[in-house]
Every structure is written in structure tokens, then in C-alpha cells.
A and B are shown apart, each in its own frame.
Chain A
Amino acid sequence: MDSSAQEGTARESPGPVVFFDGRSSRRRIVSLVLGNALEIREDGAASVLWPYDDIRQADSPPGMLRVNCLSAPSLARLDIRDPALAAALVARCAHLHENQLDGRATLKIVGWSLAAVASIVLLVIFAIPFAADRLAPMVPRAVERRLGDAAAAQIKTVFGGKSCNAAAGQKAFDKLVGTLREAAGLDVDVVSSVVATPVPNAIALPGGQMLLFSGLLDKAENPDEVAGVLAHELGHQKHRDNLRNLIHNGSTSFLIGLLFGDVTGSGAAIFAARTLMTSSYSRDVEQNADTFAMDLMQQLGRPTRPMGELMFRVTGKQGNDGLSILASHPLTEDRLKRMSEADRPPSGPPLLTPQEWTALKAICASKG
């Protein structure tokens, strides 16, 4: 071209320049003229013009410059292997590296990611407990009861489906649960049962079902101990903690899992983060259930200390076992201390007669 010749910048490429026009995979050996725009010449074909400002670098192996052009078909590529020619072209293209990820772009990704992390952490700490508190009362009782039935079916499958139901024992158990429920202002028509398993625990399921594990019953020394633990579980039920925990833990796990994606492989970090974030919430919930249980026992004129003693017998001293910020429950010794302080001499009638207590202890003895 005349204009390029008189500027003195025209340059015939010494090495092979390969051009792909983006319409076919034909490998075209071309020569380049660096004029006002990049001119791509091929023998026996019309030459192609690429404005320098539209030229961008594409990925290529070392020792080769590969460029494309915004105003050409998107996959058209020019492969330049001659370093001198490549340098001459690079010098003319002001926006060559515009679509490469530079340090600032990376910094931006890091910044936005940290913002996302912060917002998720804030959600977990503030928004989710709030949402759980507000949402739990809105769930209909029928749905809650279904959840409880599903959980009960699962628990019974896990523990071999053995329910303890010696007639006299069941009668005593129903009396104990009934007294507590009545005093707590909860409906009395819900079935509760004792499950045969050495695990010392008791659980309140959504919808009101209560399961007492025989392991705990075996460790108990008097009715007030069992009554205290059952009252604690009733507290969870009264506050609808099951649903709140379900909403709270479900959404927290989900958000944190989302955050970490596949970065750990083992999931250990996810587990650690979740434990840290949910355990303080869970400690508060347990504390409230304890308060409820103590109030209920005092209302019935029964001592509160035995409940703490039973728990202490089961767990032992916990203070040395690890970091207290990771625990889901308050430390047993602290709970025992609190219950001892609130303890008053009994003023009401015993919750079970000695005969009934003996029958309850033997509820698993006969195969039913």
C-alpha cells in the first residue's frame, strides 16, 4: 500500500505468519503490512484490515504471539512466530492486554469475595437467628407433628425399634409426663415413650413427642431427677426450639457449605466453622430451657438440684475437656451450680409414689 510504504513502516514478515479467518479451519500463510491498520495479505485473496485499537492478545504457547480482533469474527486468529514482527505489532496496539486479568482485577475478586464472606457471617450471626425465631411460630402444628413422626420413625429404626412398655411402668411414666405437661400448659394428648438404649439422653421431638432413653433412667436415683430433665425437654418444646434449630442449623450449614465450596475436600473447615457459629446460639437455647425447667419444678414445689446432679453423674466435670466456646451446651458444672442456687426444699407432693418409681425403673424389664 502506498500510505504504508511512504511511512516506512511496511514490513514483510520473514517468518511464517499463520492466519485463521474464524470461518474455516484453513491454515492460511499470510504476510503482514503494518500500515495505518494491520493488513493481512494472502496470495489470491482480498486482504483483511484489522484496526490496531481492536487487536487483543489471545492465549498462546511460549515463543508465539497470538492475536484476535474485536471487529473481526470472534475466533479469527493470527499466529506470529517471528519475535521482531511480534514486537513491532505489540508496539502499535495500545489495548493489546485489555482483556487479560491483571493484579487489579485479582484484587477486585479478593475484595468482593471478602465482602461476600462478611455478609454471610453477618447473616449467620444476626439474620438467621432472627428469622428462625420469627418463622418457627408460623409453622402449623400439623407440619410440626409430621416432622416429629418422621424423626421418631428414624430414631426407632436406629435403636432397633425397641420401645419399653411394661404396663405399670408406662402408667407411671404417663403420670409423670402428664403432670409436667399440665403444669407447663401444654396439651396432654401426645404419646411419649421410653426407648431401650444405653445412651443416657432424652429428647423432645417437634410436635410434642418425648423420648426418654433407658440409659438415663438407669442412672437416675429419684423421680425429681427424671422430672427435671423431662421439664428441660418440655422447655425446648414450649419454645419450639426444634423448629428453630432446624431452620437455624439448616440455613447455617447451607450458607457455609456454599462459601467454602470444594476448597477443603475433607469438609473439616466447614465443620469447624459451623460448630463455632452455631454453638453460641445453641448454648443460649439450652440456657433458656434450663430456666424453664427450674421454673416448672418450683411451680410444682419440687427441688431443682436433682436435675443438675443427674446430668453431672452422666457427663462428669467438663471444664477440662476442651474449648468452652465450641460446646453446644453450657458446662454441666455451671448448670449444676445454677440449679443448686435455685434449689428450695420440697413444698409440693412427690411426683411419683415409691411404687410408681420402682415400676418406672423397671419399664424395660419385661419384654412387651
Chain B
Amino acid sequence: MRLEPLRAPAPPPLPALVTFSGDRKKFIHLVARGSALELVTAGFYRFWLATDVRRHLWSNTVIDGDAAEYTGRGMELLIGFLFALAILVPIYLAYFLVTIEAERLKGFASVPLILAFYGFGQFAIYRARRYRLTRTVWRGVRFWMDGSGWAYAWRAMLWGLLALVTLGLALPWREAALERYKMSHSYYGDLPGGFDGHGLEFFKSAWHLWVAAPFAMVLFPLFPFVYARFKAAEWRWWLSGIHFGDVRLESDLPENGLQNVYWKMIGWYFLAGIVLSVYIGICTAVVGSINGAFSHAGGAVALSKSLPLLVLTVIGYLALVLSINVAIRVYLVHDVWVRVLKSVRVESIAAAADVAAKGDLASALGEGFADGLDVAGF
């Protein structure tokens, strides 16, 4: 018995560690400052805030002892956005004219045209991912992507149609097919990427959530449970399917691994809502007592027209927006990132020990489109 361990074969090399070295307080400070600047600049600071968030997350992600780096800059995003506008404005105008023509033939005949915009959004998702990937550097070598955004958009639309027709049952296969396309066009230096997750595996781990979803729509307090579980299953399946050459990722994110992140977010929503209503209540009382509004009939009506009260309400609303924006980035970006990272192991990282640098930078046009069309994706 005691000799048995000696006879055992040499264990395989341990999977490489992925750790996160960031300071959460520093991140909160960064996001709070950035969100405040976003309000002050009427939204223009969003390009620099997004960049700062990514720089923090990337540079604190330590894989096998070496930290990654994000080399994108806010100015690139702004320029990408302006270029995207220059392209989107004529398209919006053309869309408007086509809509008028189509409407004339039959009321609401133009609804299918919205499909065209959906396709455009998918194109934007692909190109935005390409921008982010080419700004991702590890050990002095960048990730990069080729492939065609339009080819991807076609696939996304056809699979989307299938998912719609099957009431979402085909969603796992859609994700698998799209991820295969994205990953087979992704590279780390000269190491080609790939995705071998199967739709069926995802389906097996998430079908009960599909069954639960209609109930959660009715009993809406259940919805966060279902959604958090779905996201966790999706992350685990997605990460476990990724490989670059022989380097493979594995994730053991438990199904309830993201549960409390979503609940905390909901808690903050409620808290912020309560604080805002209490604040408006106090403001109303104060302004009312100064005006003597409660002493004569019709005072309450006069109060609803009071300009100081309107200004105070707007200030309260802006504070609400600010705090919600901070909470979203702390919980749904930072905390999700950290939890997901903790679940990741990297197998046979030795295959990436000497990868030759390759690949060019992609422009931020895709990010600009994604911003202009309000779409997001990984």
C-alpha cells in the first residue's frame, strides 16, 4: 500500500494558472471617475472609459505568470465612431427613403427592412471583436483575426432565423456555428485558433433553463436565477471549447457561479430607486414649505410647476444614472470577469512557448458601428 504512489506514472504537467491581480477598489475608483466624466462630457468620455476598463482588466489578467496587455486607445475608438457615423448617416437616410416607398405600397411593409439593420449589427459585432483581439497582447505577441464580417453576418442571420423558428431550441447550435467561424479566423501570433464545443453539449447543460424560461417570464422574480444560470453555462461551454494550436482552455464555472452577482445588481437597482424616491420626497417637502405651497388650495399644482424642484429632480436622476452605471461595470463587468477567470485552466501551455509574432492591427470602425447601432457581443 505504502509503495503504491512510487509506482504510479509521472503526473502530467499541471495546467497553467490564470489569476487576476487587480485591486477592486482601484477599479471602482476608475469607473466612478470615468462615469462622472461621461456625464460631464455628455457621453463623449465613453470611449476613454471603455479603454480604461479594458486596460485594467487585461493588464491584471496573469496567465502562466505573465500579464496580458490591452494596447487600444480611446482616441482610436472616437475616430472609429466618427468614421462609422460618416457611413451610417447616408445609410439611415437611404433606409428612411426606402421605408417611405415600401410604406406606400402597404402599411408596415417596411418591417422586413429592420432585418437589414440586424445584419449590419452582426457585422459590427464581428469587426468590434476583431479590433479588441488585435489590441490584446501577451508575451510580446498579439492576437489577431481575419475572415469576413459580412460572411459572419449572413451566418448569424440564417442561424438567427432558425433559432426564431424553433423558439430558441436551435440557439446552442447557432452559438456553436458562429463561434466556430470566429475562432477559426482567430490567431495568437502564428498559432491558429479553433473552437470544438458542440451545440449538443450546450443544449444538454442548458435545456432545463429553456423549459424554465416561460415560467420565469410569468413569475418574474425567477428570471434572474434562470438568466444567471444560463450565462454561467454559456461561459463554461464557450471557454472549454476554445483552443489555440495545442493550447486548450478548460472552465469549471459552476452553474450557480454568477448567481449572486446578478442579485447584487438587482439589489443596487432597488436601493438606488428607493434613495431617489426618498430624495425627491424630501426635496418636494423642502421646496413646498419654502413656497408655503401646503397652506393654500392649489399649492400642490403650483409645486409641480416649480423650476427649482425640476432642477433638483434632474440632479437626482443624474446621480441615479451615475450610480447605476458604476454598479453595472463593477458587478456585471469586473466581478463576472474575475469569477470567470478564476474558473479557467490552460492545458499544455508549453505549445505557446515560442510563437512567432504575426498579424496586423484592425481599425476601430467595427467598434464605431457597434456604438452607433447599440449592439454588443463578444
On whether the two chains bind one another, the answer is yes
| Contact present for B42 and A320 (CB under 8 Å) | no
Chain A 134-171 near chain B by CB (<8 Å), digits 1 or 0: 00000000000011011101101100000000000000
- Whether B43 is near chain A, meaning CB under 8 Å from some CB there, is yes
Q: How far apart are the CA atoms of A72 and B142 in the complex, in Å?
A: 16
In-complex Cβ contact of A25 among B92, B305, B353 (8 A): B353
Chain A 102-121 near chain B by CB (<8 Å), digits 1 or 0: 00001001101110110000
- Whether A49 is near chain B, meaning CB under 8 Å from some CB there, is no
| Contact present for A150 and B354 (CB under 8 Å) | no
Q: Given the interface contacts A153-B107, A320-B301, does A22 sit within 8 Å of B44 by beta carbon?
A: no
| Contact present for B140 and A22 (CB under 8 Å) | yes
Nearest Cβ on chain B to A72's Cβ, whole angstroms: 10
Nearest Cβ on chain B to A315's Cβ, whole angstroms: 16
A66, A76, A77, A114: residue with the most chain B Cβ atoms closer than 10 Å: A77
- Whether A26 is near chain B, meaning CB under 8 Å from some CB there, is yes
Q: Given the interface contacts A26-B353, A153-B107, A154-B107, does A110 sit within 8 Å of B40 by beta carbon?
A: yes
Q: How far apart are the CA atoms of A16 and B353 in the complex, in Å?
A: 18
Please name all residues of chain A whose beta carbon is closer than 8 Å to the beta carbon of B55 when the two chains form the complex.
59
- Whether B256 is near chain A, meaning CB under 8 Å from some CB there, is no
- Whether A262 is near chain B, meaning CB under 8 Å from some CB there, is yes
Q: Given the interface contacts A25-B355, A58-B69, A61-B67, does A258 sit within 8 Å of B85 by beta carbon?
A: yes
Which B residues from 333 to 355 make CB contacts under 8 A with A? 352-355
Nearest Cβ on chain A to B340's Cβ, whole angstroms: 18
Nearest Cβ on chain B to A342's Cβ, whole angstroms: 29
Q: Given the interface contacts A24-B354, A25-B352, A150-B103, does A109 sit within 8 Å of B66 by beta carbon?
A: no
Which B residues from 296 to 314 make CB contacts under 8 A with A? 298, 301, 304-305, 307, 310, 314
Q: How far apart are the CA atoms of A324 and B45 in the complex, in Å?
A: 33
- Whether A64 is near chain B, meaning CB under 8 Å from some CB there, is yes
- Which residue on chain B has the smallest CB distance to residue A256? B42
Which A residues from 68 to 113 make CB contacts under 8 A with B? 73, 75-77, 79, 101, 106, 109-110, 112-113
Nearest Cβ on chain A to B169's Cβ, whole angstroms: 30
Please name all residues of chain B whose beta carbon is closer than 8 Å to the beta carbon of A20 when the two chains form the complex.
139-141
- Whether B196 is near chain A, meaning CB under 8 Å from some CB there, is no
Which B residues from 33 to 56 make CB contacts under 8 A with A? 37-46, 48, 55
Q: How far apart are the CA atoms of A75 and B44 in the complex, in Å?
A: 29
- Whether B21 is near chain A, meaning CB under 8 Å from some CB there, is yes
Chain B 90-129 near chain A by CB (<8 Å), digits 1 or 0: 0010001001110110111000000000000000000000
- Which residue on chain B has the smallest CB distance to residue A157? B107
In-complex Cβ contact of B104 among A146, A254, A258, A272 (8 A): A146
| Contact present for B45 and A109 (CB under 8 Å) | yes
In-complex Cβ contact of A260 among B43, B101, B325 (8 A): B43
- Whether B374 is near chain A, meaning CB under 8 Å from some CB there, is yes
In-complex Cβ contact of B42 among A113, A153, A265 (8 A): A113
| Contact present for A23 and B357 (CB under 8 Å) | yes
Q: How far apart are the CA atoms of A63 and B44 in the complex, in Å?
A: 33
| Contact present for A106 and B37 (CB under 8 Å) | yes
B48, B104, B355: residue with the most chain A Cβ atoms closer than 10 Å: B104
| Contact present for A153 and B106 (CB under 8 Å) | yes
Stretch at the interface among B57-65, B155-163, B233-241, B272-280: B57-65
Q: How far apart are the CA atoms of A66 and B324 in the complex, in Å?
A: 34
| Contact present for A59 and B140 (CB under 8 Å) | no
- Whether A21 is near chain B, meaning CB under 8 Å from some CB there, is yes
| Contact present for B21 and A61 (CB under 8 Å) | yes
- Whether A322 is near chain B, meaning CB under 8 Å from some CB there, is yes
| Contact present for A113 and B104 (CB under 8 Å) | no
Please name all residues of chain B whose beta carbon is closer than 8 Å to the beta carbon of A250 when the two chains form the complex.
96
Please name all residues of chain B whose beta carbon is closer than 8 Å to the beta carbon of A63 when the two chains form the complex.
21
Nearest Cβ on chain A to B214's Cβ, whole angstroms: 26
- Residues on A lying within 8 angstroms of B by beta carbon are 18, 20-27, 58-64, 66, 73, 75-77, 79, 101, 106, 109-110, 112-114, 116-117, 146-147, 149-151, 153-154, 156-157, 250, 254, 258-265, 268-269, 272, 320, 322-323
5 CB contacts below 8 A, A to B, read: A101-B74, A110-B37, A113-B45, A265-B321, A322-B305
Pairs of residues from A and B, 5 with the lowest C-beta to C-beta distance, nearest first = A20-B140, A113-B41, A59-B59, A157-B107, A150-B103
